[in-house]
């Protein structure tokens, strides 16, 4: 029993109540403890305690702000972002035109209803602007939250359009991490723990002509990246893509091209498919699409897209897809990208990397536009180099399916001078990591 008026240690004895005085004391003690915790627990500790962790060793930079090609940590250290938030920040961080568009939209309205019901100017205007860069067969945009959701929507669309179920994807492919997108991923290690996944998926070898013959009239769609990102920048051969397109056409199967990472100028044209002289039946976009805010989309002809409107109605449902603030940001970012000349500068910057980024420890380089992988003798060495780069103020990373390769994908807005500084620091980091 708690004695009335006594300031005793509170223990949950639900049969009696502490006095007002002891309640005050308890509250004071709790307040003091919380203040103490707030004063001593850092955001880094809270990050580890309360945020779901995705790996044992996150990069862990504590971000204070980001501007252009730089990310600043809470200690004031500047890092050059050589991966552009995984190909999201193609026009650099915090572009004033994007911030202005976001602010203006936030002042008007944010989320109002699920996707597809109300006429929302930012969605309409962005879809109109985006499709002005696309062929006639790609004029209907279904906005989603993310790249993975775009993959999911496109696979559902292909099933509706063709009435078939089989989906063809490729070894080494990455299309997202949700269960449908995971089913088409071309890597067993990342998939196996989550089986059973979608049935009726056929994985073929990338760039292999013989395997194209395995595509038959049970196939709803072929899902392909024209430049496989996560194997370390592996471009498709032009003739192979032409053969794939021809095969799909002959069987009335849809060719779905995933430009979620390659899109928005990364390869030197707004979309990589422009360099392959093909028109996809469905185009997947994401990452840079939202100008730094979450947004994805699958894009097809209006006729194809209409199959999602009936039997069942609402063939794909998304609450936040096409969020008006994300669309306003994306529209502003694409406007900047289009008028900046940065896409046109990609070739020169790619050449700058090719010419200056050398070291005997680099075994192989793959590149396509302002997008490069550097291969080293082991994953352990690559991780050591990436860690040295971070020490030297350069943010890099490896690839999901190629841990022995360093990823280089800076904002397209990076200047040649900035690129030269980054190259110098990366070479220094390689020297340091191998103990030279
Ligand atoms: C080629 C490709 N497709 C799809 C996705 C999935 O996009 P998200 O992470 O927005 O779901 C990614 C993400 O890295 C990607 O690189």
pLDDT at residue 16 in the model: 53
What would the pLDDT profile of 9-65 be if each residue is shown by its tens digit? 444 444 455 577 777 777 787 777 777 666 679 999 999 999 999 998 899 999 999
pLDDT at residue 36 in the model: 66
Q: How far apart are CA 91 and CA 436, in angstroms?
A: 36
Q: How far apart are CA 91 and CA 66, in angstroms?
A: 12
Distance 176 CA to ligand 1 centre (A): 5
Q: Is 261 near ligand 1, meaning CB less than 6 Å away?
A: yes
Show the low-confidence residues of the chain (pLDDT under 70). Answer: 1-18, 36-39
Q: Cβ(174)–Cβ(231) under 8 Å?
A: no
Closest by CA position to 298, among listed 316, 311, 277, 274: 316
Distance 295 CA to ligand 1 centre (A): 11
Distance 220 CA to ligand 1 centre (A): 21
Q: Domains of the chain (ranges plus CATH)? A: 51-81+345-434 (3.90.1150.10), 96-340 (3.40.640.10)
Ligand 1: nearest atom to the Cα of 259 = 1
pLDDT at residue 22 in the model: 74
What would the pLDDT profile of 59-98 be if each residue is shown by its tens digit? 999 999 999 999 999 999 999 999 999 999 999 999 999 9
Q: Which residue from 153, 175, 271 has its CB within 8 A of the most atoms of ligand 1, so it is best to mutate?
A: 175
pLDDT at residue 84 in the model: 98
pLDDT at residue 259 in the model: 98
Query: At residue 399, what are phi and psi to the nearest 5 degrees?
Result: -110, 150
Residue found under tokens 């360099």:
275
């Amino acid at each position: 029993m708690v004695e009335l008026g006594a300031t005793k240690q509170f223990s949950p004895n639900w049969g009696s109540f502490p006095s007002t005085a002891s309640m005050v004391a308890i509250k004071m003690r709790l307040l003091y403890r919380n203040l103490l915790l707030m004063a001593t627990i850092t955001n880094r500790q809270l990050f580890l305690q309360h945020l779901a962790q995705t790996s044992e060793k996150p990069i862990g930079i504590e971000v204070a702000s980001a501007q252009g090609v730089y990310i600043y940590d809470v200690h004031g250290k500047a890092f050059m972002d050589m991966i552009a938030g995984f190909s999201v920040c193609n026009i650099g961080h915090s572009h004033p035109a994007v911030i202005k568009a976001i602010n203006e939209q936030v002042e008007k309205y944010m989320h109002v209803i699920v996707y597809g019901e109300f006429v929302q100017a930012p969605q309409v205007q962005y879809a109109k602007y985006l499709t002005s860069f696309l062929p006639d067969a790609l004029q209907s945009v279904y906005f989603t939250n993310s790249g993975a959701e775009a993959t999911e929507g496109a696979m559902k669309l292909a099933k509706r359009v063709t009435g078939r179920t089989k989906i063809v994807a490729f070894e080494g492919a990455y299309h997202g991490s949700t269960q449908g997108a995971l089913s088409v991923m071309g890597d067993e290690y990342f998939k196996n723990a989550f089986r059973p996944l979608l049935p009726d998926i056929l994985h073929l070898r990338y760039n292999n002509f013989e395997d194209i013959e395995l595509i038959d009239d049970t196939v709803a769609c072929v899902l392909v990246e024209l430049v496989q990102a996560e194997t370390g920048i592996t471009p498709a051969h032009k003739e192979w893509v032409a053969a794939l397109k021809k095969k799909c056409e002959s069987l009335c199967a849809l060719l779905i091209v995933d430009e979620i990472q390659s899109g928005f100028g990364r390869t030197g044209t707004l979309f990589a498919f422009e360099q392959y002289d093909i028109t996809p039946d469905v185009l997947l976009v994401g990452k840079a699409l939202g100008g730094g805010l979450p947004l994805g989309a699958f894009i097809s002809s209006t006729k194809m897209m209409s199959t999602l409107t009936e039997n069942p109605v609402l063939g794909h449902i998304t609450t936040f897809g096409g969020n008006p603030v994300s669309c306003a940001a994306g529209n502003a970012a694409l406007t900047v990208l289009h008028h900046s000349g940065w896409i046109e500068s990609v070739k020169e910057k790619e050449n700058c990397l090719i010419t200056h980024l050398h070291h005997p420890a680099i075994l192989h380089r793959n590149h396509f536009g302002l997008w490069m992988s550097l291969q080293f003798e082991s994953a352990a060495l690559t991780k050591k180099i990436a860690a040295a780069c971070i020490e030297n103020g350069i943010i890099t990373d490896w690839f999901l399916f190629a841990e022995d390769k360093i990823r280089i994908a800076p904002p397209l807005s990076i200047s040649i001078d900035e690129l030269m500084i980054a190259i110098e620091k990366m070479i220094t980091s390689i020297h340091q990591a191998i103990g030279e």
